[in-house]
Structure 1
Amino acid sequence: MLESDTTARPQWLKQRIATVLAERKRNPITRILRYTYGGQTVYYISAPCCDQYSNVFDTKGKLICQPDGGITGKGDGKCPDFDKNKTNEKLVWQDPR
């Protein structure tokens, strides 16, 4: 079980969560995880389905990369070392529905 992240969520992230909750439930459910990557705090938002990209954002909500998903399953290639180098995993939120 992941340790839950209890720090204040940035406004852009609260808006993302509200958007997910306004849509129909996804399968697999959306999960948001916080990591340390490349010397900074980042947020990983899981892909809604097959062949779609997962997204990694900085604390200001700027897209850094898409580490997995897509046709190849390897993302957009902008952070191929994400899985190997991410640390301090914390569960920020997951769809409770």
Structure 2
Amino acid sequence: MRAKIDAHLAEKKQNPPIQIFRYRYKDAVVYYETSPCCDQFTNLYDQKGKLICHPDGGFTGRGDGNCADFNKNKTEEKLVWQDPRQ
């Protein structure tokens, strides 16, 4: 996730700020990355940083459909990082 954070900091600040949360989902630790705005997919990564799916966002707001149960089944939410730039 460090590489993803560094990449965000190298880009223009987003509004709303990008956040990364850690959850437990399907007996594994996963990382959820918010999107900056409107009609963009959010990203869900495994512990190694491999993209699993897009749980929400996009034109329908429902993501790519590959983890449609994420919001219902996620647990143990913890904010890992939020863009600190004002």
TM range (shorter): over 0.9
In the alignment, residue 42 of structure 1 is paired with which amino acid? V
TM value normalised by structure 2: 0.96
Partner Cα separation in structure 1 for residue 4 and residue 52 of structure 2? 16
Task: Tell me which residue corresponds to 1:73.
Answer: 61
How far does the alpha carbon of each residue in 1:22-66 deviate from its partner, in whole angstroms, 9 at most, with x for none? 111101100000000011000000012111100000001111110
Runs of 4+ in 1 over 3 A off after TM superposition: none
Equivalence for 2:81: 93
The C-alpha deviation readout for 1:51-88, integer Å capped at 9, x for no partner, is 11000000011111100000000000001111110000
Does the residue aligned with 2:20 lie in a helix, a strand or coil? strand
TM-score, normalisation: structure 1:
0.86
SS of the residue corresponding to residue 64 of structure 1 reads: strand
Query: Sequence identity of aligned pairs in percent?
Result: 61
Show structure 1 runs of 5+ residues with no match.
1-12
Separation in 1 of the partners of 2:52 and 2:26? 11
1:59 aligned to which of 25, 42, 47: 47
Question: Which runs of 5 or more structure 2 residues have no equivalent in the other structure?
Answer: none
Distance 1:74 1:59 in 2: 23
* CA RMSD across the alignment: 0.6
Of 35, 38, 42 in structure 1, the residue corresponding to residue 26 of structure 2 is 38
Aligned residues: 85
